Structure 1
Amino acid sequence: MRTGPDWWRGAVVYQIYPRSYQDDNGDGIGDLPGITRRLDHIAALGVDAIWLSPIFTSPMRDMGYDVSDYTDIDPCFGTLADFDALIARAHELGLKVLVDQVLNHSSSDHPWFKESSSSRDNPKSDWYVWVDPQPDGAPPNNWLSVMTGNAWEWEPRRRQYYYHSFLKEQPDLNYHNPAVREEMKKILHFWLDRGVDGFRLDTVNYFVHDEKLRDNPGKPPEAEWPPLNPYDMQLQKYSKSRPENVDWLKVIREITDQYADRTLVGEVGDLDCAIPLMGEYTAGDDRLHMAYSFDMLSDIFTVAHFREVIEGFWKGAADGWPMWSMSNHDVVRHVSRWAEYDAGDDRLARLAAAMLLSFEGTICLYQGEELGQTDTELTYDELTDPIALKYWPESTGRDGCRTPMVWDESAANAGFSTHAAPWLPVKPPQAARAVANMGAGSILDFYREMIAFRRDTPQLDHGPMQFCDDVEPPLMHLVRGGTEGDGTTQIDCLFNLSLETLTAPVPEGERLIGPSQAAEINGGTLTLGPNGFAFVM
């Protein structure tokens, strides 16, 4: 187990989507005892920590990102005792445990909101963002919801609108109210006292809104205009990413620092300024420890894009720290997103893993990624995601990446559940990638090898990183370690992001080290086949 206050630097984190990992009670929904039973699989990967997507009490209108009790476990997942058992077993296996905290908004079923919405003069009347209508009855401004169009919902008992960044069943909390902050501080203490090793903070740039409620400006029209979601037609200048947000992050960090060896990672959701925000939110030692954005979770698979994202972060935050990932519960799995670049036989999956695990920063892997898992094609009647239900068929939403983990192709639902119809179906293309099918030389075997290579190689684990200009895209060349005084020899990392065979010069006498794919050195020339990669020293 990594130890010490900086254990998270360079660590590899494994994201678990609890509804879809392992169902042990047969109700068709994954649960905490199921996760605990499968922790050996995760530990065998060689990762350092797990991140649990929300497990708190919730009506599940947004699959747990609408919390109705912040200090209890939803019955579909188990109990607090089950959570304690999971923590204990994870720690026995050398795994840290991070839990999702959804602090920007609660469920509309939360007792706080029920009280707040009942009148204008109750003790929690100002715990959410309530605003009078304009003289013509219109909402107070032009802010839009990420999911549903208008971000304002009318409450007849108060004769006011309330603000929701996401679903109307997810009202935003009012962080200009000190009482809200005090209550959230208690919740953070509750879980830290219970032994969690840190938090993944959902929508970390949304907490504070503009008190003047100024209209957001529109975006200049782009190539495809208008976009599918009207939310993307605005620059969210006033509804999120406010400068005052940093003050609240400092409070969260102050609480976390009262406990040894804890960490914070924030999800920065902003298509226009995420990389600068990642830097701003992780700069110094009084904010988040690390942050991630959706920039590497996009459809773009080019050297220029990866380089722009990574160099952009370090340029803006020399003392900050990033978390990089290529898949998670909110996007199409990367082997499906980038399928046009795949040479077959899991070559793209291996290339992507090798790239990701060579980047400087903390790395996050999404469950099933180690199996080369693809997105599941679902019919409309199989969907649960509110985004998909609203924008179908133009958007298939997020359910395709959330289908159950597969363990044994020969078992019911590939070993996920004995229930006749789990919450999302397991289909044959996904079942074929079950853990039990992964023998020697499989993509699972490769992930274990590549994670061990990163862990055991100081240059990759914690060495500095620099892109090189001696090759042309679609070849990517970066170096790790080897700076003066760090006691290591530089490692060259080369990746072929194409379906062609390409060559690159390497210093005479250098050799392949660690995992490689379609790579050969002859003299001073490295040949990389389609999706090829090599580590050279």
Structure 2
Amino acid sequence: MKSVWYKDAIIYSLDVETFMDGNGDGIGDFIGLTHQLNYLAGLGVTCLWLLPFYPSPNRDNGYDVTDYYNIDPRLGTLGDFVEFMHLARERGIRVLIDLVINHTSDQHPWFQQSRANPNSRYRDYYVWSKNPPEDDPSLIAFPTVEDSLWDYDEQADAYYLHHFYKHQPDLNITNQAVREEICKIMGFWLELGVSGFRIDAASFLINGIGVPEADQENLQNFFDEMRGFLSSRQGDAVLLAEANVPAEEIPTYFGQGNRIHLLFNFLLNQYMFLALARQAAEPLCYGLKTLPEIPAQCQWLNFVRHHDELTLDRLSDSEMQEIFDAFAPEENMQIFGRGIRRRLPPMFKGDRRRIELTYSLMFSLPGTPLLRYGDEIGMGDDLSLPGRTSVRTPMQWSDEPNGGFSDATSDQLPQPVISGGKYSYKEVNVAQGQRDPTALINWIERLVRIRKQCPELGYGTLHILETDTPCVFAHCCAWSDRAVIAVHNLADHDCTVTLKSTDYEHLFDLFGDRPYESLNGDEKVVQLSPYGYRWFRVNRAHSELL
């Protein structure tokens, strides 16, 4: 069981820079994060995913790395990191860190040497061309910001490849020296105790654009190499990949179970929001049926929102527009022509019922659930900030100045704290929520606790259950001699739903939006409130039905 700990983990994502300032300089740091480990343990978190904390010019939230073997001095020291890791382990919390290997900063010493000397060993660490191929616009990561995959460098007298910003030149993964360097980076952080890596921009990593000798199979085999190295150093460490790709390309990342352990479930996330916008179960059913079957040791990572935009690019233009109309009707709420730069509560106009429904749904779907910092208190966004920073404001701990995030003056913070409106730190914060038994944070703690009691949702086989009500999504996850059934009403009205496609009997209420009358015997008629939800456990005495 230990080797597949990720199957029933509760993962929490945070940026050290915006989580907690421990030394009063206005920037979140590892000292502050360490001080909040008891809070995270109390929430029920079993694994942290940390956004990049490496030295960086910080022109892209730390994803422009200048040194893979150190800590950004603003965030602390390697000693602070080691102390943090030690205390996290004491609390049973594992740590995943971002592995940003598609590109570096243009200030990285590798790139500086690459551009300065064509005979340098670092020249082929990047992809250079005197006559670059014609751009494929679909491969430009930020199509409303950058207009080309290539940029001319006067010092090198050549063009370099960059799928993201111009200041982030792509690494050349066809170069074996680069691959070996990446494994060294992994080995370094494994020695410091991390339990794995989130591979940033994994789909861009293996496309081979601009490299004449690029072989697609060889590029994809790099995932095998990474997995082999990881397993040789730490048997239970994992790779989590960010790959927003069509369903038919997903097997490339999982392989036969010998490549990536976990994959962000982008496809399901987009169909889930389409279902929420339509208040109908069909898009969610379609999304689940579209997903390919994956090897038993592999896993989906399910999420509502993460640190980037809510991307909708796997949907049709009309489907995307439906979601925009429902949750981001103003142009300022949208980004890159295909995404939403809002947190969930403002998208739902603060409707607690819909917020609960969405997290209940996400936690009950087969896979491992992800929470983002601030989700547990219902943090909002600041649309006055540019781009993705609208959803990257500092954590709101209390109603004290700066939301209790820092004792520094407000102009020293990495981003301003939300200070006005219904999502102000004075209205939405951890301290206030923990004092209120009805607050969202206490509901999230309960949801996490119930989810930990349901390993079927992490290990089990999904069965979509037929109902007689289009607005209701019902499914079952069965594992060994156990099963959990979840029923969610996506609509804004009461309904009574009959579970038509199940032989399960004696369902016991496990979790719900309110107390309901218990089902009697083999009764399959379920009452649900507007945006209501109910989880049931199947009686063990009827395990032969599973």
2:432 corresponds to = 437
1:348–1:108 CA distance, 2 compared to 1 (3 A)? same
Corresponding letter in the other structure for 2:407 = T
1:186 corresponds to = 184
Are 1:142 and 2:135 an aligned pair? yes
What per-residue deviation string (whole Å, max 9, x for no partner) do you get for residues 169-196 of structure 1? Answer: 1000011111111111111111111111
Q: Contact 1:51–1:99 (CA<8 Å) still a contact in 2?
A: yes
Are 1:460 and 2:435 an aligned pair? no
2:284 corresponds to = 306
Are 1:252 and 2:226 an aligned pair? yes
2:445 corresponds to = 448
Q: Contact 1:268–1:277 (CA<8 Å) still a contact in 2?
A: no
Cα distance in structure 2, aligned partners of 1:337 and 1:423: 22
Q: 255, 272, 280: which is aligned to 1:283? A: 255
1:205 corresponds to = 203
Q: 151, 170, 173: which is aligned to 1:172? A: 170
SS in structure 1 opposite 2:5?
Answer: coil
What per-residue deviation string (whole Å, max 9, x for no partner) do you get for residues 182-222 of structure 1? Answer: 111111111111111111111111113436669xxxxxxxx
Q: Contact 2:115–2:123 (CA<8 Å) still a contact in 1?
A: yes
CA-CA distance at 1:336 after TM superposition? 4.2
Are 1:263 and 2:238 an aligned pair? yes
SS in structure 2 opposite 1:205?
Answer: helix
Q: How many residues align?
A: 479
2:122 corresponds to = 124
Corresponding letter in the other structure for 2:495 = L
Cα distance in structure 1, aligned partners of 2:527 and 2:49: 38
After the TM superposition, which residues 414-493 of structure 1 pair with which residues of structure 2 at under 5 Å, given as runs?
414-421=403-410, 422-427=413-418, 428=420, 429-431=423-425, 432-438=427-433, 439-481=436-478, 486-488=480-482, 490-493=483-486
Cα distance in structure 1, aligned partners of 2:462 and 2:202: 27
Cα distance in structure 2, aligned partners of 1:66 and 1:211: 20
Q: Contact 1:126–1:177 (CA<8 Å) still a contact in 2?
A: yes
2:344 corresponds to = 335
1:423–1:171 CA distance, 2 compared to 1 (3 A)? same
Are 1:407 and 2:381 an aligned pair? no
After the TM superposition, which residues 200-239 of structure 1 pair with which residues of structure 2 at under 5 Å, given as runs?
200-210=198-208
Q: Contact 2:367–2:457 (CA<8 Å) still a contact in 1?
A: no
Q: Contact 1:141–1:213 (CA<8 Å) still a contact in 2?
A: no
What per-residue deviation string (whole Å, max 9, x for no partner) do you get for residues 97-147 of structure 1? Answer: 1111101101100000000001322221111000013xxxxx432144322
1:526 corresponds to = 526
1:76–1:249 CA distance, 2 compared to 1 (3 A)? same
Q: Contact 1:204–1:266 (CA<8 Å) still a contact in 2?
A: yes
Give unmatched runs, 5+ long, in structure 2: 310-340, 538-546
Cα distance in structure 2, aligned partners of 1:33 and 1:154: 41
Aligned CA RMSD, in angstroms, stands at 2.4
CA-CA distance at 1:156 after TM superposition? 1.3
CA-CA distance at 1:306 after TM superposition? 2.8
CA-CA distance at 1:276 after TM superposition? 3.5
1:328–1:212 CA distance, 2 compared to 1 (3 A)? closer
Cα distance in structure 2, aligned partners of 1:294 and 1:333: 17
Q: Contact 1:351–1:495 (CA<8 Å) still a contact in 2?
A: yes
Q: Contact 1:284–1:320 (CA<8 Å) still a contact in 2?
A: no
1:323–1:243 CA distance, 2 compared to 1 (3 A)? farther
Are 1:315 and 2:293 an aligned pair? yes
Cα distance in structure 2, aligned partners of 1:78 and 1:492: 46
Give unmatched runs, 5+ long, in structure 1: 134-138, 215-237, 389-396
Q: Contact 2:242–2:264 (CA<8 Å) still a contact in 1?
A: yes
Cα distance in structure 2, aligned partners of 1:315 and 1:472: 27
1:392 corresponds to = none
